[in-house]
Structure 1
Amino acid sequence: MPSDLISMARSGTRAARTALEITSNNIANASSEGYVRRSVSLAEVAVGTVSSTPTSINLAGVAVAGIVRNADQFRQGEVRRTGADAARAAAEVQGLENIESAVEQTGVYTSIVDFEAGLQALLSDPTDGPLRAGVLEQGRTLSETLNVAASSLDAVGDGLRFEAGEGVENVNRIASELARVNLRLSRASDASSDQTAQLDQRDMLLQELSQYVDTRISFAPDTGVVTVTLGGPSGTDLVNGGTTRSLAMATAADGTISFSLDGTPTAISSGQLAGKSLSLTQAASTRAELDAIAAEIVTTINAAQAAGVDLDGNPGQPLFSGTGAADIRMIAANGAAVATAPAGAGANSRDVSNLEAMRSALSAADPAGDMDTLLFGISSAVAGRRVTRDALDSIASTARVALQAQAGVDLDQEAVNLVRFQQAFEANARVMQVASDIFDSILAIR
């Protein structure tokens, strides 16, 4: 009996010592990112079964069955899903804000209005040199602001594509690291310290990956090896065991981007890459509308010029060249080139009928109204996406808090566990001492 007591007490001290080590590790890593609280799983050691030896004492101590991670795959999945949605919304808002700044701060709308005002002022005296020079200067300012707006939009697109390219590189890096973790997990002992550390790293990598792309995750039930699929249920595996596929980005002629896995087209609907893609789609649409406005101005003004004569009585020549916002230019050399008079009028004519026709045609084309609509559309999109971003941020934050409450370390509880396991260790040590004293007493009987 004393020897049995010693064996049971020794197993108890071992279990208590392991629990103390795990508790200390929890406290030390309480603020470590990605760390999931551990606990010790204990199992009863029995020398027989009640069915085989119903009158025997079956208890023979306790053994450490393994180390348990306090992880919840559902909550982790929610953090990944909501985090991916929030990352997409944040990236899209950032891109739209840059597009808005590129178009609005260059002053295109104001320059169109000023050019129309210059034509209106010229009606009062079509032979006045300063008024004619003012029209040309305002036209030159208009073309330059359109050039700057186009250049700014191009810069926004370049920045978005560069960031998307970095995101693709990060996805491939994370996929490679996940494949290495999978290989280590397949070799790790079940419920060992090494396995739990690898599982922590796996979950942290999966959460990092969800910031870039939306994923479908499946876990091997025994080893924890993960399979990551992009593109929804019918998508392509990015990581499968120790193998990976390479994510690649392609740029279309209009600057929009698409993705593929080892050549297989892949749709990405959440994460930063999706947000960058949506922003680039908006940038391409905005650039096309800006080009249309510039082309409209060039076509309308040059057509009106061709129908009249300039101050010297010569047939009107184009004021603008170019086909879009990037290449529109004021090409007239001086103010006399503005064809204010109708065809057939002589030099220094004060007949403004062609100028009125030019203004009417420009009013009908309404580039200022189109520009105002463009700016309003972008501003509305930014405002709407901000609301969406804030809502998704709140949802993602709630999911993170729920996961932290479930899987994080509670220092108060760990302090209680330290005392409890220390007392258990001391109690088992005392049992060993008592068993030794009993054994000595028996030996001393004569």
Structure 2
Amino acid sequence: MSSTFSGISTALSSLRAQRQGLDVSGQNIANVNTEGYSRQRTEMTSVEGVSNVPTIWAKQDPVGTGVNVGDVSRVRDELLEARVRTEHAHNSYLSGQNATYDSIQNVFKEPSDTGLQERMSTMWSSFQDLANNPGDDATRTAVLQQASAVSTSLNGASTTLGTIFSSARSAAKSQVDDINTTAAEVASLNKGLMQAKIGGLPANELADRRDALVLKLADLAGATATVRDNGAVDVSLFGSTLVSGTAARTMQVNGANTLSDQAANPVSMSFTDNGQPAIVTSGELGSSLETLNSVVPKYAKSLDDVATKMISTVNGIHTAGFDKNGDPGGPFFTGTDAGSIQVAITDPSKVAASDNANGRLDGGNADALGDLATSGSGPDVSYRQLVADLGVTAKSATLKADTQSTITADLDSSHEATSGVSLDEEMSNLLTYQRAYEAAAKLMNTVDQTLNTLINSTGR
């Protein structure tokens, strides 16, 4: 049979438990606006009677002896968090790609009055004007000026694409530095969590900080995480370990620093400890690598193809004609690509507008040059294909990024609903714990009065 004083012990355990519940609710309320904070919950368990082992002359007391606070746990959904990390990584990748295509579209600025297409059209029109007036030096000068505007546009577009490449290369380096620093912090927090678990110390806030950093790694590189029984997490990048317990690996960026070197030396990642490749295809870094090795080189090559077509077609016709002095025409453009194309002629009289060598000045060759505007194999066709492909791809990137942003926001809302602090719920908890505390105090007072009556009033 339990002691007469067990009621006081029961009330005392309730006072302690309800007070801890009040403390936990207060902590939740204090961190309602703390980013990454997980709502905490007091886990209470009832205490059994004096003995649950039956004996011959003993009888089990049917009433327990109070309440224990087993743990203060974080309210988390591991499956939801894993999906949040995956969708965040995908969102960062698509947002990065969308930004890249926006930058490339700004390079070409089509359609516009100052874009390359308009300048090529103006150049072809100047050749037609020259065909109508082959002896006019002002018209010849206009041809050279318009051709120079075309070459300058090609040079500028090529330079800007190179700048986009260099910016993405610098961004990749910064992202890798951030990944290395964050991975080291995760490993350090893992150590603290493991020690806290061994010592039975509270570590919920440490775990919140650690999980926020793991989410950051997912944003940066598409990292995934596996929780250990000892409280630590292992972080991986597409099958390769980045963080294992208290140890973190570092990565480095390899490959070309400039767009001109990319084809021969693509940008890649590797682990610094053993030099093995680090595969990253998601997150901000995955987007940077896609920009460096695929997107920018693709449009740079397409632009070079336009310049090469311009050089070969114009020079092919120009060298077949004759200039104002009756001499054979030389190359109209020099260079091999968009970055090097230049007008080779400085003297307007050297423009080969005539298509015969008998000294008669005519505009037949200039007319043939002007007809390149409508040629099915001319540079305009190549350029329009480039712009059309860019427009369709950029539009698709925008739609994908917008859709993924909505999906990610919805998952974040679900995660917040699960792990975030609700002031309404915490206020309700406060009232519940307060009333329970008051009731436990009332119970203790009642038992005290009962014992006082028993001890002081019985037997008189």
TM-score when normalising by structure 1: 0.93
Letter of the aligned partner of 2:366 in structure 1? L
Show CA shifts across 1:113-134 (max 9, x none): 1111111121112111111111
1:423 aligned to which of 411, 432, 435: 435
Residue 449 of structure 2 corresponds to residue 437 of structure 1 = yes
Matches within 5 A, 1:3-22: 3-22=5-24
Go from structure 1 to structure 2 and tell me whether the alpha carbon gap of 1:34 and 1:190 turns closer, same or farther (over 3 Å shift): farther
Note the C-alpha offset of 1:356.
Answer: 4.1
- Contact 1:84–1:272 (CA under 8 A) maintained in structure 2: yes
1:149 is matched with 157
Note the C-alpha offset of 1:254.
Answer: 2.3
2:108 is matched with 103
Note the C-alpha offset of 1:353.
Answer: 3.6
1:217 is matched with 225
Note the C-alpha offset of 1:39.
Answer: 0.9
Letter of the aligned partner of 2:303 in structure 1? L
1:260 is matched with 270
- Contact 2:125–2:370 (CA under 8 A) maintained in structure 1: no
Letter of the aligned partner of 1:228 in structure 2? V
Show CA shifts across 1:77-102 (max 9, x none): 11111111111111100011101111
Show CA shifts across 1:335-359 (max 9, x none): 111112246332xx32334334444
Residue 233 of structure 2 corresponds to residue 226 of structure 1 = yes
1:328 is matched with 341
Residue 353 of structure 2 corresponds to residue 340 of structure 1 = yes
- Contact 2:123–2:146 (CA under 8 A) maintained in structure 1: yes
Note the C-alpha offset of 1:319.
Answer: 2.1
1:249 aligned to which of 250, 253, 268: 253
Matches within 5 A, 1:280-291: 280=292, 281-291=294-304
Show CA shifts across 1:222-278 (max 9, x none): x221111112xxx21011111111122223422753222232212222211222222
Residue 66 of structure 2 corresponds to residue 61 of structure 1 = yes
2:391 is matched with 379
1:299 aligned to which of 295, 312, 318: 312
Q: Which runs of 5+ in 1 are unaligned?
A: none
Q: Which is further off, 305-314 or 146-155? A: 305-314
2:366 is matched with 355
Letter of the aligned partner of 1:306 in structure 2? T
Other structure's SS at 1:210 match: helix
Letter of the aligned partner of 1:32 in structure 2? T
Aligned equivalents of 1:229 and 1:314: distance in 2? 70
Show CA shifts across 1:348-397 (max 9, x none): x3233433444456735411121111111111111111111111111111
Note the C-alpha offset of 1:64.
Answer: 1.3
Matches within 5 A, 1:397-408: 397-408=409-420
Aligned equivalents of 1:367 and 1:309: distance in 2? 23
Letter of the aligned partner of 1:391 in structure 2? T
Other structure's SS at 1:194 match: coil
Show CA shifts across 1:13-47 (max 9, x none): 11011110001111111111111111111222335
Residue 79 of structure 2 corresponds to residue 74 of structure 1 = yes
Note the C-alpha offset of 1:72.
Answer: 0.5
Letter of the aligned partner of 2:365 in structure 1? N
Note the C-alpha offset of 1:190.
Answer: 6.6
1:40 is matched with 42
Residue 208 of structure 2 corresponds to residue 195 of structure 1 = no
Residue 391 of structure 2 corresponds to residue 389 of structure 1 = no
Other structure's SS at 1:189 match: helix
- Contact 2:175–2:285 (CA under 8 A) maintained in structure 1: yes
1:136 is matched with 144
1:113 is matched with 121
Letter of the aligned partner of 1:432 in structure 2? M
Residue 172 of structure 2 corresponds to residue 167 of structure 1 = no
TM-score when normalising by structure 2: 0.90
- Contact 1:67–1:193 (CA under 8 A) maintained in structure 2: no
- Contact 2:131–2:362 (CA under 8 A) maintained in structure 1: no
- Contact 2:124–2:372 (CA under 8 A) maintained in structure 1: no
- Contact 1:103–1:153 (CA under 8 A) maintained in structure 2: no
Aligned equivalents of 1:360 and 1:32: distance in 2? 67
Show CA shifts across 1:198-241 (max 9, x none): 211121111111111112321112x221111112xxx2101111
- Contact 2:334–2:340 (CA under 8 A) maintained in structure 1: yes
Show CA shifts across 1:154-193 (max 9, x none): 1122222222222111111111110011111110137966
Other structure's SS at 1:323 match: coil
- Contact 1:315–1:343 (CA under 8 A) maintained in structure 2: no
Letter of the aligned partner of 2:129 in structure 1? A
Aligned equivalents of 2:117 and 2:303: distance in 1? 11
- Contact 2:132–2:363 (CA under 8 A) maintained in structure 1: no
- The alignment of Structure 1 onto Structure 2 pairs a total of residues equal to 440
Residue 155 of structure 2 corresponds to residue 158 of structure 1 = no
Other structure's SS at 2:99 match: helix
Go from structure 1 to structure 2 and tell me whether the alpha carbon gap of 1:271 and 1:220 turns closer, same or farther (over 3 Å shift): same
1:277 is matched with 289
Go from structure 1 to structure 2 and tell me whether the alpha carbon gap of 1:189 and 1:266 turns closer, same or farther (over 3 Å shift): closer
Letter of the aligned partner of 2:254 in structure 1? A
Aligned equivalents of 1:254 and 1:377: distance in 2? 22
Other structure's SS at 2:197 match: coil
Q: Which is further off, 170-179 or 290-299? A: 290-299
Seq. identity, %: 27
Show CA shifts across 1:273-317 (max 9, x none): 222222332111111111121122122222333223211122222
Letter of the aligned partner of 2:361 in structure 1? R
Matches within 5 A, 1:77-96: 77-96=82-101
